[in-house]
Structure 1
Amino acid sequence: MGTAVRENSEYRQRGSRTPKRLEPVPDRPVPLASAPRVLLLNASYEALTALPARRAVVMLLGGKADVVHEHPVEVVVRSVDTSVRVPSVIRLREYVRIPYRTQVPMTRAALMHRDGHRCGYCNAKATTVDHVVPRSRGGAHNWENCVASCAPCNHRKADKLLSELGWELHVPLVAPRGRTWRLVSQLREIGPYWEDYLYLDAA
């Protein structure tokens, strides 16, 4: 299969997580490496990983997976004798057993998802990660001491304790549990329809 990818949709998604409003765009070539990643589900609909578009298309053509959700932006992989639309979510035809690991790595992406991308101090949009007990005062870098924060709150708090500022936290500082949270900890963004399978409300 060739590497040419064309964005053939009359529309492009505005926003990165949930398709809301679409606007017209002309057809234009899109590098395959820039095509959106695809969420791979087990046969049981459990989220496994986010695949590069090329790998997802190979699995579809090889009969190893089926499309669950098309991507709202039509991106098509073309070869000499066939063309395949890159989906948003695919599902394995046969179940594969995955070893279960209970500990979820704490990454910036996973922490932001846990806290809903809102500041734990003022509920504004979060753009940074803050240590509730500052590292300079013995605070650990873990789920129980880190919170999503907006830049102004992070700057104002600096190396102070919440009791010294009279502040309160608006989110519980707990480590998320579940298989899919390991995947969430590695994701930079969530594609269309992915949240139905990532179970982000389960901590």
Structure 2
Amino acid sequence: MKLLCLGHAQVVEAEGEAKYQTHDLGSWLETSANQVESMADHVIRTVSHAMRVPKVIVLAIYDKLPSKEVKFSRHNVFLRDHHTCQYCRQVFSEGDLNLDHVVPRDKGGPTRWDNIVTSCFDCNNRKANKLPHEVNMFPKTPPRAPLWRPLFGFRRKGGIDDSWESFL
């Protein structure tokens, strides 16, 4: 809404005979005013106006592309490894997982993408602070920094709104 009010975005009509027509804030207010009463759940109301919640917007301007670098975090390591222990290959919930240094810190292993894998508590305890070849425990997939955003393409339960299908 902020981008629409500032003129940095336009609403794209997602359905009906005017499909793909774009609107600025003023024309969206006019267009959606006729349909507000039948859509009680999907309406933004102010003191003097009511309009449909935009489902699809297009940016009119932007100043930079988002960074392709993925932030190193516990959650993102779990997403990279698909919540799978890299030693026993079982899938666990996030609360039952740990991060393991492939080359232990006390042997010079850094805490970064290419030395951290997801492990379950049992495998992490069994490996302890040993090198992989010392305990014959090698990660299923060699650790590396992902080249994607972890949540890009992630589909929640229940799918996505139908109005997005033609844009994805």
TM-score (norm. length: structure 2): 0.55
Decide which structure has greater strand share: 1
Q: 1:86 Cα shift?
A: 8.1
Native 8 Å contact 1:76 1:86 kept in 2: no
Matches within 5 A, 1:44-193: 57-60=1-4, 64-66=9-11, 78-80=45-47, 81-82=49-50, 84-85=52-53, 90-99=56-65, 101=67, 103-124=69-90, 125=92, 127-177=97-147, 181=149, 184=150, 193=160
Stretch of structure 1 that moved more, 141-150 or 155-164: 155-164
User: Counterparts of 2:142 and 2:126 in 1: how far apart (Å)?
Assistant: 21
How far apart are the structure 2 equivalents of 1:92 and 1:79? 23
| Distance change >3 Å, CA 115–CA 76, structure 1 → 2 | farther
Shift of 1:114: 1.5
Distance 1:142 1:85, change over 3 A: same
Which structure 2 segments of 5+ residues have no match? 15-40
Post-superposition shift, 1:129? 1.5
Percent identity, please: 30
The CA deviation at 1:133 is 1.1
Contact 1:77 1:86 in 2 (8 A): no
Looking at structure 1, the residues matched to 43 and 87 of structure 2 have their Cα atoms a distance apart, in angstroms, of 44
In the TM superposition, what are the counterparts of 1:1-16 in structure 2 within 5 Å? none
In 2 relative to 1, CA 102–84 (structure 1 residues): closer, same or farther, beyond 3 Å?
A: closer
Q: Provide structure 1 residue ranges, at least 5 long, that are not aligned to the other structure.
A: 1-56, 197-203
TM-score, normalization by structure 1: 0.47
SS at match of 1:92: strand
Alpha-carbon displacement from aligned partner over 1:115-143 (angstroms, at most 9, x marks no partner) = 11211111222522111111122111111
Distance 1:84 1:109, change over 3 A: farther
* Structure with greater contact order relative to length (CA < 8 Å, sep ≥ 6): 1
2-side partners of 1:84 and 1:157: how far apart?
Answer: 56
Aligned length: 126
CA change 1:95–1:115 in 2 (3 A) is farther
For 1:164, the aligned partner's letter is: E
